Chain A
Amino acid sequence: EDQVTQSPEALRLQEGESSSLNCSYTVSGLRGLFWYRQDPGKGPEFLFTLYSAGEEKEKERLKATLTKKESFLHITAPKPEDSATYLCAVEEGGSTLGRLYFGRGTQLTVWP
């Protein structure tokens, strides 16, 4: 069973069309939830860390939120350069420090 599930698997948006990506997790006692962006052929790039329900972080057109069992990455008025795969990861509270579980990602395409 996957500890982290991301949906949708793929999302196509027209430039300016806002939407949200979902990351749900089943680990107990979340220590932290992390969002990364990955461009084709490159390593992931860190975006946000969220620690507790109700927390929000923003960066340019991206806003990440966290509830008790899921996180959303909201993309406001996206541009073509936002096209990438977005990855979510969690660190479980009861596990060894540094043990991370990644979701399979959402591939976002923004067309002009």
Chain B
Amino acid sequence: EAQVTQNPRYLITVTGKKLTVTCSQNMNHEYMSWYRQDPGLGLRQIYYSMNVEVTDKGDVPEGYKVSRKEKRNFPLILESPSPNQTSLYFCASSFSGTGNWEQYFGPGTRLTVT
């Protein structure tokens, strides 16, 4: 089954404790992207990657890191989480050649930083 998986689905952590949210896709997509969704603000792009070893900043990259060492994986790293990073996070992937951005989204990771 074609899918994007994220882990963990729910996470409660404390300020400053480094964490990683994993994202994996099994569709051989070149493009992957991370978003955060907050009430009243909609989806905002954090980082995206057009292919292995290629990443770019989106709207709100501050406080986040990403890496793309393999085509299927695109982990999101919070080196020192703060309460303002409490949010719902989505990973997405797509073929990039056609430009139609038919993105497949993961189920989301709800992060709470206390």
Q: In the complex, which residues of chain A have a beta carbon less than 8 angstroms from the beta carbon of B90?
A: 43-44
A98 touches B33 (CB 8 A): yes
Which chain A residue has the least Cβ–Cβ distance from B4? A43
B105 touches A43 (CB 8 A): yes
Chain B's interface size range is: 20 to 34
A97 touches B108 (CB 8 A): no
Q: In the complex, which residues of chain A have a beta carbon less than 8 angstroms from the beta carbon of B43?
A: 44, 87, 89, 102
Assuming the contacts A97-B96, A98-B31, A99-B56, asked whether A89 and B48 have C-beta atoms less than 8 A apart, the reply is no
A102 touches B42 (CB 8 A): yes
Interface residues of B in 1-60 (CB under 8 A from A): 4, 31, 33, 35, 40-45, 48, 50, 56, 58-59
Interface residues of B in 54-110 (CB under 8 A from A): 56, 58-59, 90, 92, 96, 99-108
A-B pairs under 8 A by CB, number: 68
A87 touches B48 (CB 8 A): no
B101 touches A89 (CB 8 A): yes
Minimum CB–CB distance from B86 to chain A (whole Å) comes to 17
Q: In the complex, which residues of chain A have a beta carbon less than 8 angstroms from the beta carbon of B41?
A: 104
A49 touches B101 (CB 8 A): yes
Known contacts A42-B107, A45-B105, A98-B31; 19 additional CB pairs below 8 A are A32-B99, A41-B108, A44-B105, A46-B101, A46-B103, A46-B104, A49-B100, A91-B101, A96-B56, A97-B50, A98-B101, A99-B48, A100-B101, A102-B43, A102-B45, A103-B42, A104-B41, A104-B42, A105-B42
Q: Which residues of B contact A (CB under 8 A)?
A: 4, 31, 33, 35, 40-45, 48, 50, 56, 58-59, 90, 92, 96, 99-108
8 tightest Cβ-Cβ pairs between the two chains A and B: A43-B105, A104-B42, A49-B100, A102-B43, A46-B102, A98-B48, A44-B105, A102-B42
> 8 A-B residue contacts at CB 8 Å?
A32-B101, A41-B108, A45-B105, A46-B104, A98-B56, A99-B58, A102-B43, A105-B42
Q: Which residues of A contact B (CB under 8 A)?
A: 31-32, 34, 36, 41-46, 49, 87, 89, 91, 96-105
